[in-house]
Amino acid sequence: MMPRRLRRGLALAFSLGGCALRYRAMRLRGPLSLEQQAAWLQSAAHGVLASLGIRCDVQGVPPRRGLVVSNHLSYLDIVIIAAAMPCAFVAKREVAAWPFFGWAARASGTVFVDRASAASANCAAEAIARKLAHPVPVLLFPESTSTDGSTVLRFHARLFQPAARAGAPVTAAAIRYVPDNGIEERELCWYGDAGFISHLWKVLGSSGFGAHLRFGQPRVGSNPRAAAAEAHAEVAAMRECAAPPSRIAASTALNRCEA
């Protein structure tokens, strides 16, 4: 196990270092637009996926604008979805303090929100509204927490409001992990009281896994609660009926993510 963990750990460190250098070089030319931030994040995500041995299979068409809502299994979802499409994220405020990943989140224009604070949620809604005016989708995890994948928690409707007010499309997305060695999906999820380092250590030592990401059709609605309920039902259905591949060829994974 140690050789695999060491090899992947070094690959991850080199990938993250290269991401930081590319960002610094881009910033030398001036402030980055949201589109440039999203493109940088997508490039960084591809490198992280390759270093961790995660293969990504995408079904459906990643949207080019509007709000995208997905179930949430771990911090790896951010990397997987960012590799599939250039986008901006909405994340809990604790992410901003994470080693490197917090810096990357800030650098890519992530909107941070304290879910327990109405004032913070209102500020986040205003920031989301501004980003929805750009040709870059905004990704939200409306369960407000990550899970073990056994169920899709209720979607909180508050942050659907900016899309409803702007008449922006809402696209549901469903993500599933497909381990190589027959273990259950929940073994790769990061939820409850599990520590970040211990989970990353497990991922570094795993034999590798595929991520099955499916996009639904964009929908426009004026009622945030109805939009949240519809998106929840669609995500749950896509999770339920998805037939994830047992193995996803590494050579085609990144190409499909780039589509």
Q: What is the pTM of this model?
A: 0.88
Split at pLDDT 50, 70, 90, the class of 257 is: very low
Give per-residue pLDDT as tens, 58-91.
999 999 999 999 999 999 999 999 999 999 999 9
Q: Which residues pair with 179 in a beta bridge?
A: 209
Which one, of 67, 101, 71, lies nearest residue 87 by Cα?
A: 67
Q: How far is 196 from 97, CA to CA, in rounded Å? A: 12
Asked if pLDDT for residue 253 goes beyond 60, the answer is no
As a whole number, the mean pLDDT across the chain is 89
Domain enclosing residue 191, as ranges: 2-258
122-179 residue pLDDT tens: 999 999 999 999 999 999 999 999 999 999 999 999 999 999 999 999 999 999 999 8
Q: How far apart are CA 184 and CA 167, in angstroms?
A: 39
Give CA–CA dist 1/231, Å, rounded: 40
Residue 115 has pLDDT above 90, yes or no: no
Question: Could you give the number of structural domains in the chain?
Answer: 1
Question: What single-letter amino acid sits at 240?
Answer: E
Whether the pLDDT of residue 7 is over 50: the answer is: yes
Give the residue among 229, 211, 220, 213 at the shortest CA–CA distance from 67: 220
- What is the distance between the alpha carbons of residues 166 and 239, in angstroms, rounded to a whole number? 28
As a residue count, the chain comes to 259
